[in-house]
Amino acid sequence: MPDWINTSIFILTQIIILVGLFGLIVPIFPGTVVIWLATLGYGVISGFGRLGMVLFVIITILMLAGTLADNVFLGAGARKGGASWKTIGVALVAGVHGMEYTPILALQRLRDTIDPAHLRGAVILVHVANMPSFLGRTVYYSPIDGKNLNRVFPGRADGTVSDRIAEALTREVIAPATHLIDIHCGDGNESLRPYSYWMTTAAPDVNEASRRLVHHVDHVR
């Protein structure tokens, strides 16, 4: 390989590593992973050599340790706020009924108020869960299969459109979350007073956590 190519690869690698060091200042940037990828690429192209392999192993260990530490610290902070070690996050779902527009707009506004620097855990926002009903402007039922999405959970991967939407939401949104808030409003044929409720289960701790969550809503007294 010509010297100028080796030099160019070396300089590019150093630039990428400097970019990776930026992650030490900005926590949301995966700096250690970027540095590791840069050294791996350089080693594959130019050859590791004995010393290079040792350095790469050291960088790999540091990358894994840094990634693990980030997740542990994140989990510890969220745990103090009452989250679980297994899954840390809250899911907010709007648009299960496509003509209930208020929750859809509310989540769009909420998104702009979330500051990742002050966020513990994760927030999953589903702005429009039932796109067929939203596009078809139908009340309660899907214009495709005539089903009420709110009545088919947990859904079926081999079912109709509503069944499949429910299955995907259950798998990708509900299962990873520690807390779920399903937001509704008066549908196209309704005019409702603000209210909130929570489901009771056989697990008292889940019931109590749900009750506390509901009582953070302004109109609940």
Mean pLDDT along residues 124-129: 95
Buried b vs exposed e over 112-136: b needs ≥16 C-beta within 10 Å?
A: eeeeeeeeebbeeebbbbbebbbee
User: Where does the pLDDT of residue 153 fall: very low under 50, low under 70, confident under 90, or very high at 90 and above?
Assistant: very high
Using one digit for the tens of pLDDT, what is the confidence trace for 58-106? Answer: 888 887 887 777 666 655 655 555 555 454 688 999 999 999 999 999 9
Residues 111 and 169 grouped into a single domain: yes
- Look at the chain and report how many structural domains it folds into: 2
pLDDT over threshold 60, residue 41 = yes
What pLDDT shows up at residue 156? 94
What pLDDT shows up at residue 11? 86
What pLDDT shows up at residue 80? 55
In a domain, 181, yes or no: yes
pLDDT over threshold 80, residue 145 = yes
β-bridge mates for residue 82, sequence order: none
Residues 7 and 50 grouped into a single domain: yes
Residues 126 and 163 grouped into a single domain: yes
Query: Residue 176's domain spans which residues?
Result: 90-190
In a domain, 10, yes or no: yes
Residues 75 and 104 grouped into a single domain: no
User: Is pTM beyond 0.75 here?
Assistant: no
Mean pLDDT along residues 46-50: 69
In a domain, 52, yes or no: yes
Reference 172, options 121, 129, 205, 112; nearest CA is: 129
Residues 17 and 62 grouped into a single domain: yes
**Which of residues 80, 101, 132 is at a domain's end?**
80
In a domain, 212, yes or no: no
In a domain, 206, yes or no: no
Residues 149 and 119 grouped into a single domain: yes
What pLDDT shows up at residue 77? 55
Residues 72 and 131 grouped into a single domain: no
Residues 17 and 98 grouped into a single domain: no
What pLDDT shows up at residue 9? 81
The rounded distance, in Å, linking the Cα atoms of 100 and 186 is 6
What pLDDT shows up at residue 194? 80
Residues 39, 62 contacting (CB under 8 angstroms):
no
Mean pLDDT along residues 50-55: 69
